[in-house]
A and B are shown apart, each in its own frame.
Chain A
Amino acid sequence: MRACRAVTSIGSSVERTDSAAKVRGETVYAIDRIEAGMLHGQLLRSPVPAGSIIRLETARARAVPGVRAVITAADVPDVLAGWFLRDTPLFARKVVRYAGEPVAAVAADTLEAARAAVQALELVLEEHEAIHSIEDALRTGAALVHPEWRTYQFLPGGEWPRAGNVATRSVCEVGDVASAFRRAHRVVEDTFSSNRQFQAFLEARSAIGICRGGRYVVHTGHQYPFNVRDRIAQFLDLPQSWVRVCGHALGGGFGGKLDYGLEPYAAVLSRFAGGRPVRLAHSFAEDLAAAGPRDNSIITIRSALDASGAIIGREFRADLDNGAYTGEMLAMPGIAANIAGAVYRVGAARVESNLVYTNTPPTGAFRGVSGVAMYTALERHMDHIARELGVDRREYRLRHLLAPGDALLSGQVLPDAGILREAFDAVERIAPWAGLSNRRQPWRGVGIGACVWVTNPGPASVTLKLNEDGTVAVLSGAIEIGSGSFAAGVTQLVAEELGLRPTDVVLPEPDTDVAAYDSGSQGSRTVRMIGGAARAEARQLRAQILERAAHLLQAGPDDLELGGGAVRRRDAAAGQVPLALVAAADLFQAGPIAATARYAEPPPAFDPTRSSGALMPAFPGVSYHVHLAEVEVDPVTGTVRVLRYVVAQEVGRAINPANIRGQIQGGVAQGIGLTLHESLRMERGHCVERSMATYRLPLSVDVPDVEVVLLEHPDPQAPHGIRGVAEAPIVLVPAVIGNAVADAIGQPVHATPITPEEILRLIMAGEADPVAAG
């Protein structure tokens, strides 16, 4: 344990500035908002996964008492929108491509009237044969989900390989793979599948739209207000400045509130309802069926081993289910090249990853994105190789760890890859492997794994202003997503630079009319990127403050320092002036004290000749992770209890250790759900699980206290050396619990979730065919 410096809040677990309002029940979440004269909206969604719209009759719906607007594709511009690839209509126009696709929307005085109007809409569809799965979509001669795919536009600056049902393909080739496999003493191959996972934010999606004077104002609880603004502008074919998005507190996002949700529908309904505010809100069940969940995938890995057991060649192929339309998923195939050869040396490699259209609800971002399935496959595969070779699983990993200066398959060099070894050592100190893996208690097992992860590098901008009472406001397009990254992390960085208490740092909610562009609360970026901007700008603000205070204290700016909400002379002579006085002094002569700064990072160097089709070809803000799990399987019920869970995580610099611990504990809990019981099955294009009663979330009795070791090697690239923290803790959970379950039952695990039914099936298969565990 290291003692904190008393003079700074950096590195200490200061309280978040938003938590008092939250425990009082005073925080107004997006779904708590009302507007005077507010109408209620509802969507009509397609009941079938694929079909042609033969007739859509609105007259009966319009006649329902209290109905103010009924709109369909005929009422909005005939355009397609999309985060990177414009393939998505606001309403299905001629065809529907997934069960749940919006076909029409109504606004009415009451929710009951809106529901009645939706019931009164007459939709006649001619159902088509649908593409239900990745395998269906890739079959030779398969029907195309988007026959017109060639006409779709990428956003300016982007162009990625695609073909038919493959929305985008990324390929990375390093060295002579064919030769490696020809020379191989042994080849090990595995295929893994992973299922969808619902973000299950407890606050359902909602939005209020208001159209006045041709401009749209939207209130929403969202991770990325500028993305919502851009999507609405695309759908309505408007300049972005005609849309204003006001962000409000949100009850969880986890990636599920990064792309548009109900916002464009609320906006356009208001226009057709004469400008009255229109509110749309999902139920938990509607979100479950429609909000873009984590993608399901099929991943195949082949490794060529030489006589010593070293991997000299690897083929890695990941097919990711895009669903019917493309959002953030376009970025996913490209991450395979950074993951398939991460952590352990693999020699020559060919990596191919496809994003595949199906007639299912679109998938999207969820903490760890497709990287979770990729690392699950890789770390399960490592166990398989070690078993084939008869080598201890941990020992095999340590022999082949990347060393400092080794590169990812993308060509990105990791000068600090030696941290991986330190993370294995840190786990070993509190959970010695030999003791755990040799203690052969029946139905108990242990698993270990490692990963390299990334910090989202989206650009940030922040304006700081000194209020006339001496507090400082941070104007930004970012929002406190719940992690404490804003209400503690960024707040602590600003307070540190300006000698303020964290409670003197004010965080207005984001407003796209006011703030400069920001990439939102995603990918662990907030403290590093917004903190980077805030720190740079706090230094500008500090200079202004000292200059203004200099004549008040009759000293030069260099003789002054900030602290305790005041400016004082370093020589301690002649007292001090509070910041409030500095702000008020000369206000009318010299103007207010404010500053704006931006922060962006150049991407790490990589080898552009190796990869194609990668939206994010390198991994900025790299962090390193080792996880270990010990489990106990009940062979009668098939349930798994996680007895012990250990995380060693490289964070660069721990700004707020208690909040970091909360991110790790919470990420592991979500991972336990993903691994063991969160089942979001699609059956012929329809969600099987329809409510929280059937979609089983981790409860207080399911999750162990995670044992956490934080490693702190500051990233020389980033302010305070910060590396992203919050996303990664989920990434390895299915890998190490999967390895532990396989160890416990003596059977390989090739799919997640590993539900009790699946475990009983594996145990029975093992009894029928008792091969060794994988």
Chain B
Amino acid sequence: MIELRLQLNGRDERVAIEPAETLLDVLRGRLRLTGTKESCREGECGACTVLIDGQPVASCLYAAQAAAGRRVETVEGLAAGGELAPLQRRLIEAAAVQCGYCTPGMLMTLTALLREQPEPTAAQVREALAGNVCRCTGYAQIVEAVAGSVLPAGPCGRAAP
């Protein structure tokens, strides 16, 4: 076992790990931060996306040791002080969350996008999300949550009576 030190969601963290462990396994297994999701384990689905020094990374392929001394952000760190971040609110309001299993990874990818590009176009959002698979929503409401107008609560897409 070796000791890994990193900055996790703004706090200094120390955790004993096996040298070959992935960051995903350390987050979920050792730190019990299960908000970061495990799915394909080959960097295809994006469910395990976290930010390392601000950059989205597939934590299932990332050696935990490589995070030493770095700034790691997970979904649990988004609601600073308990208040939902604006991005989290927008996903809820746009009905962009179904089973929710891809949502943490989506949130991290989009957090990184919005820091670089606060008002992205729909095409930019789609491009940014091309490495995050969602099996439920078909993406439209996720894209709308970030780009363009979120439809207000109430009637939408209904036929005229």
A residues near B (Cβ < 8 Å) are 1-4, 11-16, 18-20, 22-29, 31-32, 199-204, 249-254, 283-284, 426, 481-484, 648, 654, 657-662, 665-670, 691-693, 697-701, 703, 705-706, 708-712
Hey, what's the 0/1 contact readout for B122-161 against A, CB within 8 Å counting as 1? 0001110110111111111111000000010111111111
**Cβ of B70 < 8 Å from any Cβ of A?**
no
**Cβ of B97 < 8 Å from any Cβ of A?**
yes
| Given contact pairs A15-B93, A700-B130, A701-B127, a sample of 10 additional A-B residue pairs in the complex whose CB atoms are under 8 Å apart | A23-B88, A23-B100, A25-B33, A25-B75, A200-B135, A202-B47, A202-B135, A203-B39, A250-B99, A709-B157
Taking a contact as CB atoms under 8 Å apart, the answer to whether B100 and A668 are in contact is no
Residue of B whose beta carbon sits closest to that of A672? B138
Of A249, A252, A700, most buried by chain B (CB within 10 Å of CB) is: A700
Main secondary structure of the interface of B (DSSP, over half): loop
Write out the residue numbers on chain B whose beta carbons fall within 8 Å of the beta carbon of A250: 99
Hey, what's the 0/1 contact readout for B91-130 against A, CB within 8 Å counting as 1? 1111111111111100100000000000000000111011
Taking a contact as CB atoms under 8 Å apart, the answer to whether B126 and A701 are in contact is yes
In order of increasing CB-CB distance, the 5 nearest A-B pairs are A25-B35, A251-B101, A482-B99, A669-B138, A22-B100
**Cβ of B59 < 8 Å from any Cβ of A?**
no
Hey, what's the 0/1 contact readout for B14-51 against A, CB within 8 Å counting as 1? 00000000000000100001111111111011010000
What would 7 A/B residue contacts be, using CB atoms closer than 8 Å?
A: A15-B153, A202-B101, A484-B98, A657-B158, A692-B45, A700-B129, A700-B130
Taking a contact as CB atoms under 8 Å apart, the answer to whether A20 and B84 are in contact is yes
Taking a contact as CB atoms under 8 Å apart, the answer to whether B155 and A1 are in contact is yes
A680 vs B79: C-alpha distance when bound (angstroms): 40
Min distance, Cβ A199 to any Cβ of chain B, angstroms:
8
Contacting B107 at CB < 8 Å: which of A23, A204, A692?
A23
Contacting A3 at CB < 8 Å: which of B79, B99, B104, B155?
B155
Residue of A whose beta carbon sits closest to that of B89? A23
Taking a contact as CB atoms under 8 Å apart, the answer to whether A202 and B41 are in contact is no
Min distance, Cβ A650 to any Cβ of chain B, angstroms:
10
Contacting A12 at CB < 8 Å: which of B42, B96, B154?
B154
Taking a contact as CB atoms under 8 Å apart, the answer to whether A666 and B137 are in contact is yes
Taking a contact as CB atoms under 8 Å apart, the answer to whether A23 and B84 are in contact is yes
Of B92, B133, B157, most buried by chain A (CB within 10 Å of CB) is: B157
Residue of B whose beta carbon sits closest to that of A665? B138
Main secondary structure of the interface of A (DSSP, over half): loop
Contacting A661 at CB < 8 Å: which of B74, B99, B156?
B156
Residue of B whose beta carbon sits closest to that of A250? B99
Residue of B whose beta carbon sits closest to that of A283? B41
Contacting A712 at CB < 8 Å: which of B42, B132, B159?
B159
Write out the residue numbers on chain A whose beta carbons fall within 8 Å of the beta carbon of B76: 24-26
A199 vs B101: C-alpha distance when bound (angstroms): 14
A703 vs B33: C-alpha distance when bound (angstroms): 32
Taking a contact as CB atoms under 8 Å apart, the answer to whether B155 and A25 are in contact is no
Write out the residue numbers on chain B whose beta carbons fall within 8 Å of the beta carbon of A253: 99
Min distance, Cβ A692 to any Cβ of chain B, angstroms:
4
Contacting B100 at CB < 8 Å: which of A4, A27, A658, A660?
A27
Min distance, Cβ A734 to any Cβ of chain B, angstroms:
16
Residue of A whose beta carbon sits closest to that of B161? A2
Contacting B39 at CB < 8 Å: which of A15, A202, A693?
A202
Min distance, Cβ B27 to any Cβ of chain A, angstroms:
11
Write out the residue numbers on chain B whose beta carbons fall within 8 Å of the beta carbon of A201: 99, 101, 135
Taking a contact as CB atoms under 8 Å apart, the answer to whether B97 and A426 are in contact is no
Taking a contact as CB atoms under 8 Å apart, the answer to whether B140 and A31 are in contact is no
A16 vs B88: C-alpha distance when bound (angstroms): 13
Min distance, Cβ B5 to any Cβ of chain A, angstroms:
23
A484 vs B100: C-alpha distance when bound (angstroms): 11
Of A250, A251, A252, most buried by chain B (CB within 10 Å of CB) is: A251
Write out the residue numbers on chain A whose beta carbons fall within 8 Å of the beta carbon of B140: 665, 703, 705-706
Taking a contact as CB atoms under 8 Å apart, the answer to whether B97 and A204 are in contact is no
Taking a contact as CB atoms under 8 Å apart, the answer to whether B75 and A24 are in contact is yes
Write out the residue numbers on chain B whose beta carbons fall within 8 Å of the beta carbon of A706: 138, 140
A23 vs B94: C-alpha distance when bound (angstroms): 13
- Also in contact, A662 and B137, with CB within 8 A (given A19-B97, A202-B45, A250-B99): yes
Residue of A whose beta carbon sits closest to that of B79? A24
Residue of B whose beta carbon sits closest to that of A654? B158
